Amino acid sequence: MHVNIVYVHVKPERVDQFLDATMENAHESVKEPGNLRFDVLQMRDDHARFMLYEAYESTEDAVAHKGTPHYMRWRDAVADWMAEPRQGVLYNGHIPDEQEELDF
Amino acid sequence: MHVNIVYVHVKPERVDQFLDATMENAHESVKEPGNLRFDVLQMRDDHARFMLYEAYESTEDAVAHKGTPHYMRWRDAVADWMAEPRQGVLYNGHIPDEQEELDF
């Protein structure tokens, strides 16, 4: 499983707009082929810091996400709302795997 | 949704043992009341670094996890395998929420 953890630090005055745009993106992203997770998390101690948890069955599925209209709309919308460049960290997921996802 | 992101840096020679013990813990943890996620992720560029993604419907459910036999067994087993103390960061999850989990 291909996991991209994206850390986003948003300008304080843009937090609500960022959350709205990100939820819209997430609701479309979970419908993509191979998507296993697209979770939107907001840090409890600093509401301007978000973590997006994007999990796909394969690297190809994750790459295809970057070509979707909803991703490109999100990317353009949030570009000026960041307090600093967002950072992604790649992980291999041991859980969930495809079989477990079917059992969920 | 209550999310605890736990970052673990494991001694290189203990990576396989850590993964085995953590998978065992995870397979029991997903059966707990209120558990939504217990994902085990290994950093692609450094296999000694793990991220555990623990999501529960409520704070109470997350606290109860710490009292389970499988958690305590895992905690004791891995204690000497860490290269440095593990760190937890708390998040509020906007996705998934309980309704979406039911639709999953």
Please give the pLDDT value at position A96: 67
In sequence order, what are the residues at sequence separation of 6 or more whose Cβ sits closer than 8 angstroms to the Cβ of residue B68?
B28, B29, B32
B102 in reach of chain A (CB within 8 A): no
pLDDT exceeds 60 at position B27: yes
**DSSP-derived secondary structure letter, A57:** S
A19 in reach of chain B (CB within 8 A): yes
A6 in reach of chain B (CB within 8 A): no
What is the ipTM metric for this complex? Answer: 0.88
Q: Which of the listed CATH numbers 3.40.50.300, 3.30.413.10, 3.20.20.70, 3.30.70.100 matches domain B2-93?
A: 3.30.70.100
Residue with tokens 């692609």: B44
B90 in reach of chain A (CB within 8 A): yes
pLDDT exceeds 90 at position B62: yes
Please give the pLDDT value at position A97: 65
Q: Determine, for residues B94 and A3 on separate chains, whether the beta-carbon distance falls below 8 Å.
A: no
* A:B CB pairs within 8 Å: 70
| A50 exposure class (CB count in 10 Å sphere: 0-12, 13-18, 19+) | buried
Provide mean pLDDT across the span B79-103.
80
CA distance A53 to B70: 26
H/E run at residue A91: strand A87-95
A69-101 confidence digits (pLDDT tens): 999 999 999 999 999 999 999 999 998 664 444
Q: For chain B, what are the domain ranges?
A: 2-93
On whether the A2-97 domain is CATH 3.40.630.30, my answer is: no
